[in-house]
């Protein structure tokens, strides 16, 4: 593998040199000298030389303009390094794919999957049935650190092409354009901006990758079994961007309508391109390849292409596109596929990609989920009951009484509000407006679900707009979201009560199962890393068991973040670590932040990611994994209990919140125009509990501590080391949990973090020393369990961290100085440099929030 690494080194050196030349051309020799001076000092510090204080003094001497420009230069370097690394991964993927044989399939590949299924004794028919039954939903959500302008993405994509072509002059011109482009908008991004940015990879790399993935899976089945099946796509997509109202006042019904219209517009443009390609390519002569009547009839009325029925067929389809729906299009494409049954290669190469795209994306591109907090839904329903004269104050009733009243009411199709009633409260106005504006429906997620009445509230609102049917429920999934430790512990009983409610049970039976969302973010913030992971594991086990007892399939929606603290890291391995028997035929995962670029910036990287996900999902869905030994679970529960105590004793200590606000840029995250969603749930507070999970993790990542990804894990020290080593070797969940923590610990750098103590009043410094001691203890414990370094099985990541640290460090040095100045002066001129530093650290570390 020497050759690909040499190519990576050459490209990094080339791009770094060109960036230096671009800095000279745009910003002058003097500024270039400053960048080089700071870069060399940062590298010297990493080599152990005593230059930290000199570097601090040099940064302190910078003007705001110089500080901002310095951050921009190092951030641009990361964009270029990320690009080179992505190209390196593509090259390595190609080499490994070429070396794959049936006897030695590539790890986590389609071929390895099909071979594993055959080794388990599945016949060809059983494998085809199993693979055809699986659906992996990837759900795109907005994230504050993935706010790169589409203009920046355009330049990076163009650089990708120019690196392929090898023209130095064009390459240099593009690097200049990249360096001279504003990285961020001058205004806070609107939800509309987030919609356009968040869905970027769907009509680009994923549009290319999904048909290739299906074709590669079919080919793998053929190589193992000797017969090629025709498989549906195993992946579908959803979006929250424009439908997630929980805590975001900017997500209005108008925005929800825009999200659907924008997605449809993009899908229509892509499908028209597909149809144009088929019109060009399928020039089959009627004399040589006679077409059946159903194909000829579809092309009637078309004046062009006489004697070429397939061109006429697809031209007519393009003309009708605005009137069609996805099912109509699929039926018509099937006619063309049947007509060409004698030419299977033509069907596979030219028609199957269109069929796959229609099944995976359709005319909708991506159905939209709605999400709202349960309290807001109850507030909206309370107004309906008042307006209908049924109850003056539903909110005064107990949850049980509310459930009984809601259930009784839902046996009738009659809406509560009188004809012509105009909502008085904002909660009802927005809830009904969103349901009316919601065209291509995904699911309706209810955050902070505590009781069946929270989900029944959605049914009552849906009834007001004609979407509820007695005995059937609503035409979309209504999904409980369990987030905090307490909610996760109560989730199995909550699901049992839901499935004992006659209205809700009729709904899930009509829908074919119950989707349950579990939140990795709030549970971590609430209970700490170890306890949250164990609570999520046990909740899934118990909820799946309730579903089996009630005869209702349960499908889990994993609200995983980008950071390992929020369930991030290698998603395929995370699926392998889920409880045996909890993974059904359908699974959902969230996708957001820097992970989008990491996974989907290139069609081949997107394909590889989908391949790894299916490798683990398809095997987990068989449900035949072995549960952990009883003694292991008991031991881990004991350690988790102690880990919660350690974690909460830190967070609840007097003065901790003041330390956190001074030490990290959390206040600045709330003020800077980095995302549409507010950082705090209910305005400024003095408590961690009312802080959103993403900024909580993001703030700790910026200061290079990444505390939510590991703090409290040292509680495992109470267990015998030999037991921990045995659990690590034989329990996939435990191994995944420890390796996720190892990633966070390896990316952390307490030496850089110490710089931020300059921002903290001295009486609060002991909090840092406490964190530092816990860090050292946790690193030593994990290395003892692994009997190896932290990243012993993640060497690529270890190399990336080593290469990147000298370039991330200067951004942290500048960030500390800018925070210090900004807090003293509130000078608006410093805001831009600060925001660039936040995005620069995120670009350098990845998995930032």
Residues annotated as part of the active site: 143, 525
Cβ atoms within 10 A of the Cβ of 470, count? 13
Name beta bridge partners: 245.
none
> In this structure, is the dihedral angle defined by the CA atoms of residues 515, 516, 517 and 520, taken in order, positive or negative?
negative
Closest CA to 589 of 576, 577, 575: 575
Q: 349 — phi, psi (to 5°)?
A: -80, -40
* Buried residues in 182-217 as b, exposed as e (16+ CB within 10 A): ebbeeeebebbbbbbbbbbbbbbbbbbbbbbbbbbb
Helix (H) or strand (E) holding 157, with range, is helix 150-165
22 Cβ contact list (under 8 Å, min separation 6):
172, 175, 176, 178, 179, 180
Angle of the 765-786 helix axis to the 721-730 helix axis, nearest 10: 70
Cβ atoms within 10 A of the Cβ of 690, count? 12
Residue identified by tokens 């993640």 is: 794
Query: Considering just the CA atoms, what is the radius of gyration of the chain in Å?
Result: 28
Torsion of Cα atoms, 400 then 406 then 409 then 413, to 10°: -150
- Cβ atoms 388, 416 nearer than 8 A: yes
Task: Tell me what percent of the chain is helix, strand and coil, each rounded to the nearest 5.
Answer: 65, 5, 30
658 Cβ contact list (under 8 Å, min separation 6):
761, 764
501 Cβ contact list (under 8 Å, min separation 6):
403, 407, 452, 456
- Cβ atoms 140, 238 nearer than 8 A: yes
- Cβ atoms 521, 246 nearer than 8 A: no
Alpha-carbon distance of 356 to 362, in angstroms, equals 9
């Amino acid at each position: 593998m020497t050759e690909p690494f040499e190519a990576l080194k050459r490209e990094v050196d080339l791009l770094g040199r060109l960036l230096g030349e671009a800095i000279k051309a745009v910003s002058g020799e003097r500024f270039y000298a400053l960048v080089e001076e700071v870069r060399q000092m940062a590298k010297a510090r990493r080599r152990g030389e005593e230059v930290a204080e000199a570097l601090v003094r040099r940064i302190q001497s910078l003007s705001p303009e110089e500080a901002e420009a310095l951050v921009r230069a190092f951030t641009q370097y990361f964009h270029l390094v990320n690009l080179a690394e992505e190209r390196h991964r593509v090259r390595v993927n190609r080499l490994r794919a070429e070396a794959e044989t049936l006897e030695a399939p590539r790890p986590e590949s389609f071929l390895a999957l099909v071979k594993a299924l055959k080794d388990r004794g599945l016949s060809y028919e059983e494998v085809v049935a199993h693979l055809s039954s699986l659906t992996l939903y990837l759900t795109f959500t907005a994230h504050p650190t993935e706010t790169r302008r589409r203009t920046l993405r355009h330049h990076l994509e163009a650089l990708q092409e120019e690196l392929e072509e090898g023209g130095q002059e064009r390459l240099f011109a593009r690097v200049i354009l990249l360096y001279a482009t504003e990285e961020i908008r001058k205004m806070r991004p609107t939800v509309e901006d987030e919609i356009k940015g968040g869905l970027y990879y769907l009509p680009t790399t994923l549009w290319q990758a999904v048909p290739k993935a299906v074709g590669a899976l079919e080919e793998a089945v053929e190589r193992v079994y000797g017969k090629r099946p025709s498989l549906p796509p195993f992946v579908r997509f959803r979006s929250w961007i424009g439908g997630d109202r929980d805590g975001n006042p900017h997500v209005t019904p108008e925005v929800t309508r825009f999200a659907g219209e924008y997605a449809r517009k993009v899908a229509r443009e892509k499908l028209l391109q597909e149809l144009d390609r088929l019109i060009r390519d399928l020039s089959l002569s009627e004399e040589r390849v006679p077409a059946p009547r159903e194909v000829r009839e579809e092309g009637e009325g078309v004046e062009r292409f006489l004697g070429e029925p397939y061109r006429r067929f697809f031209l007519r389809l393009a003309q009708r596109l605005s009137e069609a729906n996805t099912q109509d299009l699929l039926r018509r494409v099937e006619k063309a596929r049947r007509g060409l049954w004698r030419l299977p290669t033509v069907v596979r190469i030219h028609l199957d990609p269109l069929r796959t795209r229609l099944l995976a994306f359709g005319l909708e591109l991506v159905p939209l989920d709605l999400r709202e907090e349960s309290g807001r839904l109850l507030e909206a329903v309370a107004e309906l009951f008042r307006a209908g004269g049924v109850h003056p104050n539903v909110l005064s009733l107990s949850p049980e009484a509310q459930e009984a009243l809601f259930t009784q009411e839902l046996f009738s199709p009659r809406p509560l509000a009188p004809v012509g009633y105009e909502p008085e409260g904002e909660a009802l106005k927005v809830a009904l407006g969103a349901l009316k504006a919601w065209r291509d429906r995904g699911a309706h997620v209810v955050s902070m679900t505590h009781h069946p009445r929270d989900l029944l509230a959605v049914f009552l609102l849906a009834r007001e707009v004609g979407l509820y049917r007695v005995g059937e429920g609503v035409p979309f999934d209504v999904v409980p979201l369990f987030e905090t430790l307490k909610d996760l512990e109560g989730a199995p009983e909550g699901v049992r009560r839901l499935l004992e409610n006659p209205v809700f049970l009729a709904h899930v039976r009509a829908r074919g199962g119950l989707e349950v969302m579990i939140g990795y973010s709030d549970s971590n913030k609430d209970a700490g890393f170890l306890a949250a992971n164990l609570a999520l594991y046990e909740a899934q086990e118990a909820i799946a068991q309730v579903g089996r007892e009630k005869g209702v399939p349960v499908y889990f929606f994993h609200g995983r973040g980008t950071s390992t603290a929020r369930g991030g890291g290698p998603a395929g391995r995370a699926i392998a670590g889920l409880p045996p028997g909890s993974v059904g035929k359908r699974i959902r995962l969230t996708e957001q932040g820097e992970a989008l670029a990491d996974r989907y910036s290139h069609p081949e990287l997107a394909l590889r990611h989908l391949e790894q996900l299916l490798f683990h999902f398809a095997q987990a869905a068989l449900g035949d994994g072995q549960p952990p030994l009883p003694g292991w679970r008991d031991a881990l529960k004991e350690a988790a209990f102690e880990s919660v105590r350690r974690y909460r004793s830190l967070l609840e200590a007097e003065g901790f919140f003041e330390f956190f606000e001074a030490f990290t840029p959390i206040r600045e995250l709330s003020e800077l125009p980095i995302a549409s969603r507010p950082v705090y749930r209910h305005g400024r507070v003095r408590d961690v509990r009312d802080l959103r999970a993403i900024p909580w993790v993001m703030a700790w990542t910026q200061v290079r501590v990444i505390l939510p990804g590991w703090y409290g894990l040292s509680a495992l020290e109470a267990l015998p080391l030999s037991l921990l080593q045995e659990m690590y070797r034989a329990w996939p969940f435990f191994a995944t949990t420890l390796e996720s923590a190892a990633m966070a610990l390896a990316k952390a750098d307490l030496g850089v973090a110490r710089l931020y103590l300059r921002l903290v009043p001295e009486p609060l410094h002991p909090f840092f020393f406490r964190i530092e001691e816990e860090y050292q203890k946790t690193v030593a414990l994990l290395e003892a369990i692994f009997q190896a370094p932290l990243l012993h099985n993640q060497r690529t990541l270890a190399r990336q961290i080593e290469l990147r640290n000298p370039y991330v460090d200067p951004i942290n040095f500048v960030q500390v100085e800018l925070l210090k100045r900004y807090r003293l002066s509130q000078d608006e001129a410093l805001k831009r440099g600060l925001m660039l530093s936040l995005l620069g650290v995120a670009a350098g570390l990845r998995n930032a929030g």
